[in-house]
Structure 1
Amino acid sequence: MNHSDLTEYRHSDRSSGDVNLRNGEHVLVTSASILERTIARPSSSWTEHDLAHAFVALDLRQVSLMHVAGDGKIKTLDFVPRDHNHFLQIVRYGERADGSSLFPGSGITAGASDIVLRPVISTAFVDPFSEEGTLAILCSHATRTGEPLPQSPVSIVTRAYERLCSVAGFELHALGEVEYFLGLKAGANTERTEDRGYHAAAPYVAGQELRRRALTLLAQIGVPVKYAHSEVGFAAAENESDVTWEQHEIELALAPLPDAANNIVLTHWVLRNLAREYEMEISFDPVVRRGHAGSGMHVHMAPVFEDQFLPVYEKDGKTTESAKLLIVGLLAHGCSLMSFGNRTQTSFVRLFQGKESPTSVTWGQFNRKALVRLPVTTKDVSGTSVYPETVEFRLPDGSAFPHLLLAGIAQAACHAHGLTNRKEILESMHCDVPASEQSQKIPAASDAVAELLEEERDVFEADGVFPATLIDTEIVKLREETGS
């Protein structure tokens, strides 16, 4: 669009019509979600009849019940509605599935394995990768008697979220920084030779178009995004059969814990689909090549009370009580949380190769090598934060199981609520304490994480949030990972 085009530009919106910008009128930026624009209401107020209206208006043909199973990946059950009543039956009541196949090793036996997929109306979106025209709806899992399935990742993070609300008196919102590597053919010209890609623009980075398209698609399916950019990492192909890896990041926007977990999983799903379309390889592994920058999945958290984000800092600059609760929980149990946030052997390569990753249990302002960081926020002219202030957990990486990780963080905060020595923990584990006096180091292998999870399992199993069988299974996996 050239300058003359810009002067004639007219903003078009389906719900409000055209507004001529030459008249100097104000215009509103509306939701990018296809369904929200079609239904003309926020997703929180949708009904099954709204979805039926959109299904017809958008000329869709199929319904996909999508859900996150025991391996943390998206699954789908597809339907072609025969008529209006069949459509309503699908989106109201869902369908049965085989729980022993979806959650192996969780205690669900083949003799009593029926579970139910329960559609969550507010999560519906138009599948951007379906040529058939498909309405996708995320589902929770229920037992055959209608109760939330204890083994379901959605059930676990929801229980943890609700428990923290009850114990601490605030809701917890979170976001993930999704870092990933794109693998380019060996001959690709990226005009880069080393780990210096932070905020690089095309033509100095090859994955910009894919990343920008991912932003558009995420917005269209209802995943809120803060921003995206090229990241530091770059590893040139070592031979003609190898690939060149370049790093990117999509930082999501804050959402309640259960939604935040779904948003991370959907972001992985979108990026993997796009990589296939663009004929690129993609990796969320913590390290794609030793000696080069790795991929973390930092988690930012913000407490919310009565629909208002609570500050991290008091007016006098001291840390607020709600922020202290989160920090202490992460300091006390961050290493055992590696069970859910650092799940491969390369997780430890990332942490111990000296590339701005935490190696000891500390916290502080702005420090990128701390386990817990209080990052700077943009402020207005009066010094008031424009965006919510957050507590950042820098240990997790792309191997994380988002639902279990966020549930574990909530359980750690609940446990911290009952500790009487929170002040001492904060003082002894601050970054200003000399390294020689910092007693706790990050585990260097999966078996050490397994031992910590065994020791601290009561924290995660409290009030039935994490099933004991799931913790047993995670411990076995961690020990097997060490031996692999």
Structure 2
Amino acid sequence: MRDSLILMNPSDLVCFLKKDPAEFTREDIIRFCEANRIEMVNFRYAAEDGKLKTLNFVISSKEHLDTILSDGERVDGSNLFSFIEAGSSDLYVIPRYRTAFVNPFAEVPTLELLCSFYDSDGKPLESSPEYVLRKADEEFTRRTGCTFKTLGELEYYVVSPRGDLYPGRDQKGYHSADPFVKFADLRDEAMRLIARAGGMIKYGHSEVGCFFAGDTYYEQHEIEFLPMPVEQAVEQVIIAKWILRMLGNRYGVEISFAPKITVGKAGSGMHFHMLAEKDGQNLMVEGGRLSPLARKMIAGILDVSDALTAFGNTIPTSYLRLVPHQEAPTRICWGDRNRSVVVRVPLGWIGAEGMTHDANPCETRHREERSSKQTFEYRVADGSADPYLTVAGLVVASLHGIGMPGALEAAEKLYVSGNIFRPEFKERLAELEHLPASCVESAGALAAKRAIFEKDGIFPAGMIDSRIAALKAFDDRGLNERIYGDNEAIRELVEQYIHVA
């Protein structure tokens, strides 16, 4: 099984080294570079704005390569993070070997590695987003004995000049096929390149958003990943965003992960599916239904869902997306197969046996027993999210729920069945609390519940202070009402954040 996974793996390094990326060593990286005549190495790291930064090296010798892989390099942290002062801003960036991949866009053979930040004492930088996630992950495993896994759904728009041949139907782009979708080839190429860079992809498809605005065409797509341990899950989202933007630049189109392109059209979320696993078994199902552990985790996420927006919905246009009747959450609740809730429980193949045989009567081989695929999905976050901090927040919230008195009762109370915006659910809707409607409200929610995130030293107090200040600075309370119907003001706001994170 292990050999077949390596043979079919699209990663150049995995195929060459015949190893799982988690086992890559410095010697492995050097051997690959020598054999494949790698001329350049790039250190990559996500800063406070969520975009990948780059430090380039031209490799002059084996000793030079060994040195940078062993020692990393210095960077100016004050230009990467607002909470680091210029007076003592030097940081180390140290490559994580398991993240290595060959740059598919470089003209010369180039190796890319994601890095971690370390302070002047050689300790992990407490406020670095990737270290916050690592701390949350380690605490979850320490307290539960389980592995927290997640997968991201990456939604984006392709923005291009208008083309009238085989036009798609307005807001009817879901799972469209050629020729009624124009940029499936860009998505397919992106998926292949993301897989070569180590991403584990579940599938890709066109999304609902499809419309013209004057001479501009907007087409929405989604790439969804497979469940992975949280650090790898976030890394593949960050690399995927970089690859999509690079491809967009080559195709002469813009790729936008912005939460809202215009009012009245589908927004783009960054949903995260979650599960807890032990000894290879998914613990989200018990006795043919959602397990008590899963329901406690959901209760914890709902309890802090207003504060979680501080990490997952970080710009004013985030709150143009979180409005009723747009398949986006507005009220704090959860449900099965419901796309207007904070946490959705999707179909999980529970009790759904015999479908393959029914579709293929000649198939006689019985499917091998596998661990359940059941997950639950956090639907609030969008493309402005810091994925490290958003997932770290979800891990912390899940732990909060596991230890929260009355968690199962709280989950039961916040469960909804059906479309909560239908008239017959008017009274039930009124009982549910609202998510924040602005960055300012999000900051207030985080301030009120910061102790939950700061517990066990996972989110440093200085980071929370910085996040609250940044959100308050938008001064966007009541923005939706102020610009409602003002198309020019909406257009200017969208343009301001079109290339967020």
Same fold (TM over 0.5): yes
Q: Counterpart of 1:202?
A: 178
Counterpart check, 1:455 vs 2:428: no
Q: Counterpart of 1:302?
A: 275
Q: Counterpart of 2:494?
A: none
> 1:33 is aligned with what amino acid?
S
Counterpart check, 1:393 vs 2:366: no
Closer, same or farther: CA 353–236 of 1 in aligned 2, 3 Å? farther
- Indicate the RMSD between aligned Cα atoms, in angstroms: 2.1
Deviation at 1:204, TM superposition (A): 0.7
Q: Counterpart of 2:97?
A: 121
> 2:282 is aligned with what amino acid?
L
Cα distance per residue 1:129-175 (max 9 Å; x no partner):
11121111111111121111011111111011111112233121111
2 CA distance for matches of 1:436 and 1:187?
46
Q: Counterpart of 1:251?
A: 224
Deviation at 1:262, TM superposition (A): 1.3
Counterpart check, 1:292 vs 2:265: yes
Counterpart check, 1:151 vs 2:127: yes
Aligned partner of 2:237 among 260, 264, 285 = 264
Contact 1:302/1:309 (<8 A) preserved = no
Counterpart check, 1:231 vs 2:207: yes
Aligned partner of 2:463 among 463, 470, 473 = 470
Closer, same or farther: CA 316–87 of 1 in aligned 2, 3 Å? closer
Contact 1:61/1:134 (<8 A) preserved = yes
* Percent of paired sites with the same residue: 35
Contact 2:46/2:53 (<8 A) preserved = yes
Q: Counterpart of 1:431?
A: 416
Paired residue secondary structure (1:89) = helix
1 CA distance for matches of 2:353 and 2:464?
45
Aligned partner of 1:181 among 154, 157, 176 = 157
Deviation at 1:185, TM superposition (A): 0.4
> 1:482 is aligned with what amino acid?
D
Paired residue secondary structure (2:307) = coil
Counterpart check, 1:367 vs 2:338: yes
Paired residue secondary structure (1:298) = strand
- Of 466-475 and 174-183, deviating more is 466-475
> 1:110 is aligned with what amino acid?
A
Q: Counterpart of 1:171?
A: 147
Q: Counterpart of 1:422?
A: 407
Closer, same or farther: CA 386–279 of 1 in aligned 2, 3 Å? farther
Deviation at 1:417, TM superposition (A): 2.4
Q: Counterpart of 1:314?
A: 286
Aligned partner of 1:214 among 161, 169, 190 = 190
Q: How many residues align?
A: 454
Q: Counterpart of 1:65?
A: 43
Paired residue secondary structure (1:302) = strand
Contact 1:176/1:260 (<8 A) preserved = yes
2 CA distance for matches of 1:362 and 1:28?
42
Deviation at 1:30, TM superposition (A): 1.1
Q: Counterpart of 2:71?
A: 93
Q: Counterpart of 2:348?
A: 377
Contact 1:62/1:133 (<8 A) preserved = yes
2 CA distance for matches of 1:353 and 1:202?
31
Closer, same or farther: CA 316–224 of 1 in aligned 2, 3 Å? closer
Paired residue secondary structure (2:405) = coil
Counterpart check, 1:339 vs 2:310: yes
Closer, same or farther: CA 234–385 of 1 in aligned 2, 3 Å? farther
Deviation at 1:29, TM superposition (A): 5.8
Structure 2 gaps, min length 5 = 355-365, 480-501
1 CA distance for matches of 2:319 and 2:74?
40
Q: Counterpart of 2:328?
A: 357
Q: Counterpart of 1:13?
A: none
Contact 1:326/1:391 (<8 A) preserved = no
Contact 2:277/2:283 (<8 A) preserved = no
Aligned partner of 1:162 among 130, 138, 159 = 138
Q: Counterpart of 1:445?
A: 438
Cα distance per residue 1:428-463 (max 9 Å; x no partner):
101049552433122212211111100001111111
Cα distance per residue 1:158-216 (max 9 Å; x no partner):
01111111223312111110000001202353521311111111111111010000010
Q: Counterpart of 1:20?
A: none
- Of 461-470 and 247-256, deviating more is 461-470
Contact 1:380/1:386 (<8 A) preserved = no
Contact 1:193/1:236 (<8 A) preserved = no
Cα distance per residue 1:74-122 (max 9 Å; x no partner):
1111111221111111112211111111112x1x222221111111111
- Of 150-159 and 349-358, deviating more is 349-358
1 CA distance for matches of 2:385 and 2:281?
26
Contact 1:64/1:137 (<8 A) preserved = yes
1 CA distance for matches of 2:144 and 2:427?
34
2 CA distance for matches of 1:314 and 1:256?
22
- What is the TM-score when the length of structure 1 is the normalising length? 0.89
2 CA distance for matches of 1:416 and 1:161?
15
Paired residue secondary structure (1:293) = coil
Closer, same or farther: CA 50–195 of 1 in aligned 2, 3 Å? same
Contact 2:297/2:402 (<8 A) preserved = no
2 CA distance for matches of 1:29 and 1:40?
8
2 CA distance for matches of 1:463 and 1:28?
38
- What is the TM-score when the length of structure 2 is the normalising length? 0.87
Q: Counterpart of 1:274?
A: 247
> 1:471 is aligned with what amino acid?
I
